[in-house]
Each structure stands twice: as C-alpha cells, then as structure tokens.
Amino acid sequence: MFNRVTSFCRKVLNRDNKVREIDDLKLEIIPRQEHGISRKDISENALKVLYRLNKAGYEAYLVGGGVRDLLLETEPKDFDIATNATPDEVRKLFRNCRLVGRRFRLAHILFGRDVIEVATFRGHHSGEKSESKGDKNASQSQSNDGMLLRDNVYGTIDEDAQRRDFTVNALYYNIDDFSVRDYAGGVEDLKNRVIRLIGDPETRYREDPVRMLRAVRFAAKLNMEINAATAAPIPALAHLLRDIPSARLFEESLKLLQSGHGYDTYVMLREYNLFSPLFPILEEHFTEDRNSKCEQMMALVLKSTDERIATQQRINPAFMYAAMLWYPLETRAEEIAFESGLSYYDAFMVAANDILDEQVKSIAIPRRFTAMIRDIWQLQLRLSRRSGTRAYKLLEQQKFRAAYDFLDMRGNVEGGQLSELAQWWNDFQRADRDDRNDMVQVLNKASSTKKVRRRRKAKPRRRKPQSNQES
C-alpha cells in the first residue's frame, strides 16, 4: 500500500542539551489513489493559502490534526499549514496576514472569522540562540529544566516531522501531488487507535509540559489509548504544568473541557494527576469514591456541556467555571463568616474574590468571564427571595437563565428544598401572567404567616404571681 521513499535518524535533545539518535524513522508516501482525502473536504480558504504558497515556489502542506481527522473521516476543526516559507515571506504573499506568537512565530491568514494558521518548518534546536534562514526573529532558548522558552529555529520538512509531538500529527498532505507523507507510522497508529509520542517521552514533556495535556485530549477526543511508554512519565511530571503561563493554560482548559468530550477528558486528567495543577482549589474537595458534592457537580456540568456541543447549542466558559468552583466558594464563605463574624452575604462576596484570585494564578480566566461568574454566584443568593415583585425583577436579569440552569444543577446534587426551589422557578418561567400572580400570592401569604409567628414567639412570657404559701 505504501511507497517507502527514504529513512532518517530521529534526533531530539536530552536533558543535557545534547543531540542523540533514538531510532530510524521511516518516511512512507501514500499516493492519492490509496488514501481517502479529497480536496472537497478541505476548507476553501485553506486551499487558497496552499495554492498561493505553492505557486510562489514554496513547499506547502496541510499538516497535523486536519490530515489526521480527514483520514479518520471526521470533519476537522482547523486546517493548519506547514511551509518552508518564513513568517516574513508569508506576510509578503498575503495582505490579510498577521504574525503572532513569541515562543514560536506563526502567520495567521485572516478570512473574516476564519483563520488559517501557517507555520514554518521547525528545525533542530541546539540550546543556544541562533539565526535561521536569515529571519531576524529566528531564535531558540531553553530553561534549566529543559523547557523550550523560545523555539524559532527553522528547518526542512524532515526536521519538522521529527519535532512534531505525536505520530498521528506527523502527517502531511502535499498540495503539489495530493499524496500523504507519513513520517512516524501515524497512519498505522490511527488504525490501532494509539496515541504515541515521537521521541523520548520525558524529554519531550520537559520541553513542553502541555504535551501531557494534549496526549489526554487527543485520547479522549479520538477515543484512543495512550501508548504505555508515552503515558508512564506523566503522573511524575504533572507538576511541571505549574510553570506554564496561566494565560496559555486557560486556552488549553477550553480545549480540554469544552471540545465535546469534556467529561471523558476530566476523568483521564484525574487518572494522570493532571487536573490538580489546573484547578488546585478543587483538590481538597475530591474524595476516594469521587462522589463528593463538588465531584457530582463536575460530572453534571461537563456532561451537560458535552450534550450542548453535540446538539450545536451555545456554551459559555463562565458557566462551567462558576459550577466547578461553587462548592469551594461555599466552604470558604462559611469559614470567613465563622472566623470574622461577617454576615453570610458579606462573607460570600469576600470568598468569591478570594476563590477567583486564587484560580487565575493557574488558569488566567479573563475578566469578561469572571464578571459573569460573579453574577451567576450572586443570583444564587437572590433566587430564594421571590415574594412581592422580586420574582418578576429576577426574571428580567440578564444572567437569569444561566443562574437558573445552575440552580437546577445544584438541586440535582443536593435535593431537598433546593430542588423544590428550582422546580418553582421552572414552573414560574412557563406560567402565564395569571398563574405567575397566583404563585407569588401563595408565597406572600406564606411569608406573612411566618412573620406573624415570629413576632408571637418574640413576645416575652408573663411570670406567674408567686402564691402566699411560697412566700
């Protein structure tokens, strides 16, 4: 089936920054008639970029996840391109181009909201600052732990394949002859449904700890298993994620938990000790039987998110984070109220700030989302106050629907009065004006009865006069 064209030694850096050979990597070229990729399944904008690069004399390949998903006969989310043109050369070809990234410079070709990412072939790094192909931005640097801090070293397609993370991503679709270049046995691993890292796993994870998250994400998304050698170092190296910029981990958290396979990904992250570095606040709320209120809420919100994505409904990261962090917030509010003597509402507001301040240290949730998280949390305190005109005013709140959906989840976890409250709001939303008035009137009567009873209990009892015999 495959035409073997060439072979070469795969080389990576070890922890001492020395190049060492691992094994022979075989390039296999799969001609057009032997694979199922068709140009009609490729984004029109991606084809425009591929053809223009090719016409200008550059090599141009659809690469990575786009090729992988097309071979799996699923619709790719992104179409990424690899080329031997430098970012500056790409920018000269496309007016709608902007250069992004510091760690590795990329060219983004903008077609309205559609963005085609173009990366220059990466070369071998040496641990020292270097110039590459005359590009003034080409340089590379590493931390003492082996993490790549800057990686703008350009090379050939063969070197680029060696630098790819997983075998199933070292696949290149050639726009020149429509063949697929498989450098690391990726097609075979796709057939066997295996996620396998290229190179020495510990070295590659130290270069970029986010690769551990990617291994889990691909395994969950593609319903594959992580190769034993690829999985083995992960639990011991999970702590390296704490050195990753929190802004980058925010983006990764969305890919992990809001890609349609969030619950399965979460379970696998827990299995490999990768969840705690992302959400350290939640660790103390986890139990051995994985059935705490916090863990039940995690399962509910992630499964709900997966279902909404499957049915093409809108999702908002703020709702997911609000649900995930709710029980740590409740616990913190109770502690502050007990220790400081503040009212529960004031303690709740202080706790909300504390929880979010702690969480953004590991995952930099943007302010536009933290503001909505606070709104959802505050409304949880107000939804029980429904008498008079309060219910009508709450219904008009911009974040009411999100707050109600979260209340319903809390009711599913805790049951009792909370479940009854969620059902009341469900009925109130569906009722017409007259029925809503009746529902509120019932609450008003119940509220006034309680007030009368409280006043009667508050009256002091009269002492019985002492009898003459006692005196």
Active-site residue set: 78, 80, 165
150-186: burial string, b at 16+ Cβ within 10 Å, e else: bbbbbbebbbbbbbbbbbbbbbbbbbeeebbbbbbbb
Cα gap 46→83, rounded to integer Å: 13
Residue whose C-alpha is closest to residue 131's, from 104, 154, 160: 154
What dihedral angle (degrees, nearest 10) is formed by the CA atoms of 353, 354, 357, 362? -140
DSSP string for residues in 224-282: -EE-HHHHTTHHHHGGGGGGS-HHHHHHHHHHHHSSS-HHHHHHHHHHTT-STTT-GGG
Cα gap 407→233, rounded to integer Å: 40
Please calculate the CA angle 69-74-75 and round it to the nearest 5 degrees.
Answer: 90
Cα gap 321→359, rounded to integer Å: 10
Q: Residue ranges of the alpha helices (H) in 292-415? A: 293-310, 317-324, 326-340, 344-362, 367-382, 390-395, 400-414
Q: State residue 61 phi and psi, 5-degree precision.
A: -135, 140
335-350: burial string, b at 16+ Cβ within 10 Å, e else: ebbeeeebeeeebbbb
